[in-house]
Amino acid sequence: MSTLVIVESPTKARTIRNFLPSTYRVEASMGHVRDLPSSAEEIPEAVKGEKWAQLGVNVEADFEPLYVVPKDKKKIVKELKDALKEATELILATDEDREGESISWHLLQILKPKVPIKRMVFHEITREAIRDALTHCRDIDNRVVQAQETRRILDRLVGYTLSPLLWKKIAWGLSAGRVQSVAVRLLVRRERERRAFRQGSYWDLKATLTPPTPLGKGGQGGAFDAKLVTVGNVKVANGSDFDENTGQITAGRRVLLLNEEQARALLSRIQNKPWTVGNIEERPVTRKPSPPFTTSTLQQEANRKLRLGARETMRIAQSLYERGFITYMRTDSVHLSEQAITAARSCVQELYGSEYLSPQPRKYTTKSKGAQEAHEAIRPAGSTFRTPQQTGLDGVDFRLYDLIWKRTVASQMADARQTHVTVLTQVEDAGFRSSGKRIDFAGFLRAYVEGSDDPNAALEDQEVILPALKVGDKPNCKDLEAIGHETQPPARYTEASLVKMLESEGVGRPSTYASIIGTIVDRGYAKLIANALIPTFTAFAVTTLLETHFPDLVDTGFTSRMEQTLDEIATGEAKWLPYLQKFYTGETGLATQVKEQESQIDAKVARTVILENITAKVCIGKYGAYLESENEEGQVKASIPQDLTPADLDPEKVDFLLKQKTEGPEKLGLHPDTGEPIYVLIGNYGPYVQLGDVSETNKKPKRSSLPKGTDKDSVTVDMAVSLLTLPRLLGTHPDTGAKVQANLGMYGPYVVHDQGKVGKDYRSIKPPDDVLTITLDRALEMLAQPKAVRGSKSTTPLKELGAHPESGEMINVYDGRYGPYVKHGDINASLAKDESVENFTLQKALDLLAAKEAAGGGKSSKSKKSTTTKKTTAAKSETAAKKTTTAKKTTAAKSETAAKKTTTAKKAATATASKKKTE
């Protein structure tokens, strides 16, 4: 007697095999085995002549879907059928969500088993969970299957009906989607807001004060900052008082707007006047931990903290799930099982102590109506949680597990207690405010702080310690400066903020956001630059067409209501067929709308993007966006550089591009050695310099891109000559004899160790190093360092300053999450925004570190207590780790053997995972 168990991927199959008796055979379906045809060649000959065949849905026969087995799945289906012939029982163990239920149903339709069938579901892949699931099998839930089928048909109807229209009217290869098009519109709307934004400027004063009582004689804390907030009891204007559309103070606001002259005059008037503490307010604040991760919050936090994209986060999470490290990663629920709560509380008790444990178990409930993908939050798998160090994971796998572990454990920790302190000081008629924050009890912050990877470092950042002051004190003004500010345009969406917006609007399912964002980027609707999603001119054209002719389909409210209906179909509250009929074939249905609107859409107009303040037209062409304008000689067309965003295209750039096209490139000067002209141009990939003219004998003149952030107007002849020497040969590597070069690439300056067929080893060049001046010795130092892992900052110092005069420890400047900082022992101090790393000296570092320590950034009795706790924690973790060393070695050996046998299967599984869960 044998049982065939079918799961989605080889990795999952391999893990589950370890927990089942030898009579169980576990095989993988590699995701979906059937789907609607994706191309004409997949359509069966019997229906190729039908007008609905290309759509893949017979809209005239109750929306009957046409399912086919893709060519790359035929071998898998055959293997599963052969395996079933030898089995006396079939268990379908695909994921317990709509997609997984649908895969199981499709397997039944294809395999047509004549043996008993069971549907097995679980949320984590551990021995206990799998054995328990075997005893609680159920039937396939046909309502969930119907809901998924309706969703799939609906997405096909939208995509395959609108996309051909976009091909005809704008450009070939474009696509529309039920959720995709709404997401693109959100990006475009934000970019329009950036274009409409008008900058405002304002000035204020910043003071550095010291307490009247010298340190060491009863005083606590040192220098502290104070910001001007009132003059003559009138509030001083700040950024929140400006209207983004005018750049002026919002109508009705009673505020004082200071310009530079007024700010400096006020500074002179109060420069040497006495300061008095007028009021002190202390406000206790209690913070509760965030609930455990759902799919969307994991994507958001992994993007913010690890700089992982949504698609990459889900790929890593799926791998962790399939290998038994975490529970199912596609879930809307924040609920934790009793088993998980017990495990998390045990971790808190053991690692942090009972004082950090919440008095009662915390139970989280899901507010989202449609939360049904799985029934528990994302958490470490098992009845006991392995610490990240005990898993044997490394790289991004380790960091993502670490994030999940910390968030889960923190969810069962005590509240953090803080005191917010506000000190108001007065000098003449000018009022200043100082804000402080004191952590009275760290609570859950000891384990997890949103937005930071290092809880201890983050905990330090949470505190801003003000000195002990009382009303009537006369603090000393150590420094007073006037500071100018400019308001900033609305921030572009990141993957994290877009996911948050889609979820808050009820658009789509969190489990599909990763694939949707991936599609937006892959189809050329957005570019991901410096973690920001920037819409392209093509996105503007498509969004304008859809807003004009199909407004409902890009309306968040309409799409949210559609999502609710699909959820109601899954619960039996709504009927799928009447809904599809009304949506697609009704009087106002999509098919009718497209038929009516197609003749009204002018392709030339659809391909044109109208932007305010620009006289030239922006058109979408076969090779990208270009400008079109009329002059005395006729029509002029000029390509728009690919790195020029819609929000940044202004009249000045338009004039330059058109002038470059009609009058030729701008001549910078002559090369001092060859006498050839040097030009500054803007091409498809941004500004660059060129040596000489294009001619029959010189068809490809020497060219070099400008470094990122370099304005074309700031380029000198000397800089251009240096750039034209790139790539610079620095010398040969002493170990290999291969050449080492410095050059500029798509992602910035770099050095490369080029070993020909052996391969190339790259390292990015970061300030203060410069691509034009870097030496061979420095390049060899960089190449000797391990490559920085994505999502983390390099531990290689930006600059070594020297030894501390008292401790003898080295003081270095490092690149941190929020910019460069100086480090000495346990004290980190950020450099000022306008401070140059290159010009930063040891003395400046000593002053900065002393100020940080005086302000409470050094070790106190509280931090000493924390250190003791940390040591105890480390000792306990080390003991636990020793206990599992043998098991880890055994597991590692087995995993290594299994990995060698299944390399090909792994690659196939990765490809399948990337295709699965689309919407």
Active site residues: 328
Q: Compute the half-sphere exposure of residue 190: CA atoms within 13 Å on the CB side of its CA.
A: 21
Q: How many residues are given for the chain?
A: 919
Structure-token pair, residue 588: 């106002």
First to last CA, the chain: 40
221: its two tokens: 């804390």
Q: Are 227 and 483 spatial neighbours (Cβ–Cβ below 8 Å)?
A: no
Q: What are the Cα distances from residue 372, in Å, to 98, 104, 369, 504, 701?
A: 9, 18, 8, 16, 61
Token readout for 395 is 């790289």
The amino acid occupying position 476 is N
Contact 535, 649 (CB under 8 A): no
How many angstroms separate the CA atoms of 584 and 194, rounded?
36
Contact assessment for residue 169 and residue 603, using Cβ atoms and an 8 Å cutoff:
yes
Q: Give exposure, 326-363, as e/b (b: 16+ Cβ within 10 Å).
A: bbbbbbbbbbbbebbbebbbbbbeebbeeebbbeeebe
Alpha helices in 65-222 (DSSP H): 74-85, 98-111, 127-134, 142-169, 180-196
| Residue type at 421 in one-letter notation | V
Which parts of 646-795 fold into alpha helices (H)? 651-663, 717-723, 776-784
**Regarding beta strands 89-92 and 3-7, do their DSSP bridges make them parallel or antiparallel, or are they unpaired?**
parallel
| 617-621 vs 608-609, strand pairing mode | antiparallel
Tell me how crowded residue 851 is: count the other CB atoms within 10 A of its CB: 15
Q: Is there a contact between 298 and 329 (Cβ–Cβ < 8 Å)?
A: yes
Q: Among the residues of 506-589, which ranges form H helices?
A: 513-522, 537-549, 556-571, 576-580
Burial of 695 per CB tally in 10 Å (0-12, 13-18, 19+): exposed
Q: How many CB atoms lie within 10 A of CB 794?
A: 17
Provide DSSP, 146-179: HHHHHHHHHHHHHHHHHHHHHHHHT-TT----TT
Helix H or strand E encompassing 625: strand 624-631
C-alpha dihedral sign at 300, 301, 305, 308: negative
For residue 221, how many other CB atoms are within 10 A of its CB? 18
* Residues whose CB is less than 8 angstroms from the CB of residue 862 and which lie 6 or more positions away in sequence, other chains included: none
C-alpha 625/C-alpha 523 separation (Å) is 15
How big, in percent rounded to 5, are the helix, strand and coil portions of the chain? 40, 20, 40
Angle at which helices 180-196 and 495-505 cross, to 10°: 110
Tokens representing residue 753 in the block = 């160790």
Q: How far apart, in whole angstroms, are the C-alpha atoms of residue 912 and residue 231?
A: 64
DSSP secondary structure, 376-423, as one string: S-B-BSSSSPPPGGGS---HHHHHHHHHHHHHHHHTTBPPEEEEEEEE
| Stretch (H or E) spanning 745 | strand 739-745
